[in-house]
Chain A
Amino acid sequence: MDPARINPNAEIRPPDTQRRNFLGLATAAIGGLAAMVLAVPGAAFVLTPLRRKGKESGFHSIARLSQLEVGVPRSFAIIEERRDSWVNYPKEPVGSVWLVRQPAGSDPPVIAFQSECPHLGCAINLKADRSGFICPCHTSAFTLEGQPTNHVPPRPMDRLEIETTTGSDPEIRVRFQRFRTAIEEKTPLA
């Protein structure tokens, strides 16, 4: 800050101007430095969430194939231990998925959808007549294959990776992930 501009009419004798300039600069510099000592850690403090990494999503055993009927979606809860900042919660439902069994011989035999709407994250429900999915918040609607049937959602329902075990009644395992909402690409939340 130039003191002369702040105080253009002050009676300043010439030898004083230099001293004033120096003091003004030194005040700004030292004051700025002192402020930085707090401002930088303060910024780090509030930016903590950006620094934390999301946990790796693993596969969950959810159901057996025999529990599902072809073409009839069923909702299953994802049970996980959960850490909310400082609290460790024991296993409890943390989200849900829709499983839709495909006709015999299809690969994969089951499609898993994240139940969070790609629009703004509400939980998608089944239509009353079971002909498709509908989101109760902004009426995003989807076919049983997850394709949008109106212009509300930005993309189809998010399919989740699945694994099946071998055997006569395979176990269905789903990799539970969340995705960013309101964009056209399916991008995992990190």
Chain B
Amino acid sequence: MLKPLSDWIDDRTGLFSRRRAGLERIVPSGAGWRYVSGPAVLAAFLIQAFTGILLMTAYSPSSSTAWGSVYYINHEMWLGWFIRGVHHYSAQATMVLLAFHLFQTIWTAAYRRPREFTWWFGVILLVLCVAFGHTGYQLPWDQKGYWSTKVVTNIIGGAPVLGPYVQKLLIGGTEYGNQTLTRFFALHVAVLPALFIATLAAHIALARRKGMTPPLRPENTRRDEPYWPHQSFRNTIAVATLMGVVVGVVYYNGGAHLDAPADPSSADYPARPEWYFLSLYQMLKYFPGNREVIGTVVIPSTLLMLLVLLPFLDRILPRRASHAMACLFALVMAGAITGLTVIAIREDAGNKQFHEARAKADEAQRRALQLAALHGAGIPPDGASYLLRRDPWTQGRAVLDRKCLGCHVMEGKGSGEQSAPDLARFGSRAWIRGLLDKPQSATYFGKAPGCDGMEEWKKSSKLNARQLDVVADFVAGFAKIPADLTPDEWLSHPEVAKHPGLELFQKECGTCHVVEGLSEGGTRDAPGLYRWGSADWFERMVRKPSTADRYGYMDDGQKMPAFGDDQVSENDLTMIYRYIRGEYPPPTSSVPPEATAANAAAPFAAH
């Protein structure tokens, strides 16, 4: 019934008869497994094209949206983790298959006359595959992709003469950002595929035109067979095996990895290329400084040139000798690549600093994924990098560590000699209660020079534990006073006016500490306590610690240095404040979702 239609189409297009001719073509000496590597590479490319187009429907190339869209693919879309996983691991499978196909072509001397052009197109395909890998690797705009791209484009920039110009054009300027992503995206999904398809079409057309390379020593017992179904069957088994392996790896790994969002300021991200480039990476280590161009440009392009010239080797050497040379070359290359890869892996395995940096990067990755998944938090409109930059546990901790822990400590830990209080839970009731108990403790002012006022008070004070509780309750309320409330308005509030701690505070604390309208101090110098523990009090303490209402009375050598917003930004200050007060979702995955949801609003509430 369909025959008249198919005949009509075939008559005008030759579609079916050409297909028939292709399927019926003869495989000399019969079908065999030796011919499956080419079709397997083709299948891998088709898998990449299919999954790639799917990913394009969900991916968004800009520095503020790329990570979020990949997160969305990986964690929110239906089987998104699987599709992206297949794309990621099938890319690696393509590299392996291509290397094998190349090796086999050399081994069977298939590069020889009359198949030189097939071979050259194959070499172009190899270069294009490497370009695919590099352009795709950075698209998620995570730490891994960001730093690897930086390295690769700097390698390009280090090439003589044109290098810097090519680099600038590739990344769209001198800074990595939106233009880098849009350019790499266009290369990855349009330019490279177009080149690849054209080259592949030529490669396959020529392969068909010249027929398959028969075995060097034909097995006379086997007769010729048509391509379909004998060879097609073997190809299909090979492709199904490839699919099985890729799906298995994807399933085992739970999809492809997504590192923490790109952070140009991270000091210790241990960038490593994908495993199939580790040999090149390792080679760079042997060409330091001004000779680096040998490892980055000279050696790779020489090897490529050798591949291109391989078919001409027959002209200067006897056929058997030239083939033996080619095979030796391939074996040495395979050995060198394997050797360098093993060395690279072993060096990293024994490198403690690498493991520490990697552990830190993994911690940031887990945290970013945790925050992105929180209800009520999610990824902020200005970009995924703000996930961690507005996370007290990540950013507050890091800045505290860099700027404060030289003198202060956090839960007893600091990086210098302690000369200031422990900041853990500063401003909380527990902190005050502890201070009222043991002001001379290292947690409070025990190690802070010039801060013995509280200790002196403690010696003379006769307050019992219950009374101290009441004072602590009262002072803990200071942090909650709204910024727009004057001391008078605050004091006239019935809850404050009738608070049992009010009178005790006036008698015991107010003789030194000033709270406008409540106490006048005067006995000894001490900081003002109105709204003590609030974000504003804290900010003034950091920005202007030497004002009269803070610690201006202390000797110069004992004062805390001031930190302006050129040293600690507004956001960083807020992050430190929230970090020391514990205002962030706890960083474990075992926390019940309700608990994290309740805390989630806090880190982002101000934005």
Q: Which residues of A contact B (CB under 8 A)?
A: 3, 6-7, 10, 20, 23-24, 26-27, 30-31, 33-34, 37-38, 41-42, 44-48, 51, 83, 85-90
Contacts and interface: CB of A to CB of B under 8 A. Distances in A.
A88 B378 contact: yes
Contacts of A86: 65, 68-69, 71-72, 76, 372, 378-379
Interface in B52-93: 54, 57-58, 65, 68-69, 71-72, 76-80, 82-83, 86
B50 A38 contact: yes
| Interface hub of A20, A34, A51, A86 (most chain B Cβ within 10 A) | A86
Nearest first, the 6 closest Cβ-Cβ pairs linking A and B are: A88-B378, A86-B68, A23-B229, A86-B72, A24-B229, A41-B79
B247 interface: yes
21 contacts: A6-B20, A6-B228, A7-B20, A23-B229, A23-B232, A27-B233, A30-B236, A37-B243, A37-B247, A42-B54, A45-B79, A48-B76, A48-B77, A85-B76, A86-B69, A86-B378, A87-B65, A87-B379, A88-B377, A88-B378, A88-B379
Contacts of A85: 68-69, 72, 76
A149 B233 CA distance: 68
A24 B228 CA distance: 8
Given A30-B240, A88-B379, A45 B20 contact: no
Given A33-B240, A41-B82, 13 more contacts: A20-B230, A23-B230, A27-B229, A38-B51, A38-B86, A47-B78, A48-B78, A48-B80, A85-B68, A87-B68, A88-B377, A89-B381, A90-B607
A33 B381 CA distance: 42
Contacts of B51: 38, 42
B576 to A, nearest CB: 23
A27 to B, nearest CB: 5
B228 A7 contact: yes
Contact of B236 (A3, A20, A31): A31
A3 B23 CA distance: 10
Nearest to B68: A86
A38 B89 CA distance: 14
Nearest to B235: A27
A87 B372 contact: no
A56 B71 CA distance: 25
B380 A88 contact: yes
B57 A87 contact: no
A23 B23 CA distance: 14
A46 B47 CA distance: 16
Nearest to A16: B225
Nearest to B16: A6
Interface residues of B, number: 42
Contacts of A88: 376-381
A110 to B, nearest CB: 32
Contact of A10 (B24, B82, B233): B24
A24 B23 CA distance: 12
Contact of A30 (B78, B237, B377): B237
Contacts of A33: 240
A46 B79 contact: no
Interface of B: 20, 23-24, 47, 50-51, 54, 57-58, 65, 68-69, 71-72, 76-80, 82-83, 86, 226, 228-230, 232-233, 236-237, 239-240, 243, 247, 372, 376-381, 607
Contact of B83 (A24, A31, A42): A42
A18 to B, nearest CB: 12
Contacts of A51: 78
Contacts of A23: 229-230, 232-233
Contacts of A34: 236, 239-240, 243
A10 B227 CA distance: 12
A20 B229 contact: yes
Contact of B226 (A7, A45, A90): A7
Given A10-B24, A46-B57, A48-B78, A87 B236 contact: no
A46 B54 contact: yes
B236 A7 contact: no
Given A88-B377, A88-B379, A44 B79 contact: yes
Contacts of B80: 45, 48
A47 B77 CA distance: 9
Nearest to A89: B381
Contacts of A7: 20, 23-24, 226, 228
Nearest to B71: A86
Given A3-B228, A34-B236, A47-B78, A87 B380 contact: yes
Nearest to B242: A34
Contact of B243 (A3, A38, A45, A83): A38
Contacts of A48: 76-78, 80
Contacts of B69: 85-86
A10 B378 contact: no
A24 B77 CA distance: 37
A152 to B, nearest CB: 34
A20 B379 CA distance: 57
A6 B380 CA distance: 59
Contacts of A20: 229-230
Contacts of B226: 7, 10
Contacts of A87: 65, 68, 378-381
Contacts of B381: 87-90
Given A31-B239, A87-B379, A88-B377, A45 B77 contact: yes
B71 A45 contact: no
Contacts of B380: 87-88
A26 B71 CA distance: 39
Contacts of B54: 42, 45-46
Nearest to A88: B378
A83 B378 contact: yes
Contacts of B232: 23, 27
Contacts of B233: 23-24, 26-27
A91 B376 CA distance: 12
A89 B604 CA distance: 11
Nearest to A20: B229
Contacts of B65: 86-87
Nearest to A29: B236
Contacts of A26: 233, 236
B382 to A, nearest CB: 9
A27 B229 CA distance: 7
Nearest to B83: A45
A12 to B, nearest CB: 9
B79 A3 contact: no
Given A27-B229, A27-B233, A87-B380, A6 B243 contact: no
A34 B607 CA distance: 49
Contacts of A90: 381, 607
A89 to B, nearest CB: 5
Contacts of B372: 86
Contacts of B77: 45, 48
B51 to A, nearest CB: 7
B229 A3 contact: yes
Contacts of A44: 78-79
